[in-house]
Amino acid sequence: MPGKLLRLLRRSRGQEMPVVTTKGGDTGKSTLYSGEFLPKNDRHFEVIGDIDELSSLLGIARYQPRVKAARIAREFMRIQELLHHAMATIATNKDSELYTQLPKILDSDIEWLEKQQSFYAERTRIEPRFVLPGEKSAASAWLDYCRSVTRRCERRIVSFIQVERHIVHHDMHCAQRFFNRLSDYLFVLARHIEDT
């Protein structure tokens, strides 16, 4: 499990922060939050890595002049927190005692995201054509980049669900639905920023 995520989860549980460099991953293996020791190229880490990349991109996009508005910045911070929930869900065996303590993406989070998307859609003129990212602004290009990475995350989660059927559960399907809605939200928000 990426060290940053592990530290974040431990911090949220009030545990002491570990040393940054442990050298534990020098063998090409890493540990899931629930303790399983797996190769770093295991599909768990592939999904977690893509979601981590998306969170970083959202952090960059959040500071673009047109995205910096308080409402959007708050939405992005909540989305980034939910991405951490998704990473924790993937990094923890559902049969582990730790799993019950983790915050997870819920149906209510998906409903919240749908409401945000509707808010911008009602205030935005979306042309019926393919979008050329960066055509109108750097801010919308960053959002389109985030949307593309979101789609990759969703594809990784779908593959994970198909291959790891024995460990898949409602929480994983909620996460997959969240990423599907997130890409729609980012598309609409990018067009909204271009339109304002």
How high is the pLDDT of residue 1?
45
How high is the pLDDT of residue 155?
98
Question: Counting Cβ atoms within 10 Å, is residue 23 exposed (0-12), middle (13-18) or buried (19+)?
Answer: exposed
Residues of the chain with pLDDT under 50: 1
How high is the pLDDT of residue 86?
97
How high is the pLDDT of residue 8?
57
Q: What is the pTM of this model?
A: 0.88
How high is the pLDDT of residue 188?
97
How high is the pLDDT of residue 189?
97
How high is the pLDDT of residue 24?
76
How high is the pLDDT of residue 50?
98
How high is the pLDDT of residue 52?
98
How high is the pLDDT of residue 10?
60
**CA–CA dist 87, 155 (Å, integer):** 15
Those residues whose C-beta lies under 8 Å from the C-beta of residue 58, and which sit 6 or more positions away, are: 76, 79, 80, 83, 146
Write down all domains in the chain, each with its CATH number in brackets: 41-195 (1.20.1200.10)
Helix (H), strand (E) at residue 9: helix 3-12
How high is the pLDDT of residue 94?
86
- pLDDT tens digits, one per residue of 116-173: 999 999 999 998 989 999 999 999 999 999 999 999 999 999 999 998 876 667 899 9
* 79 and 117 Cβ atoms separated by less than 8 Å: no
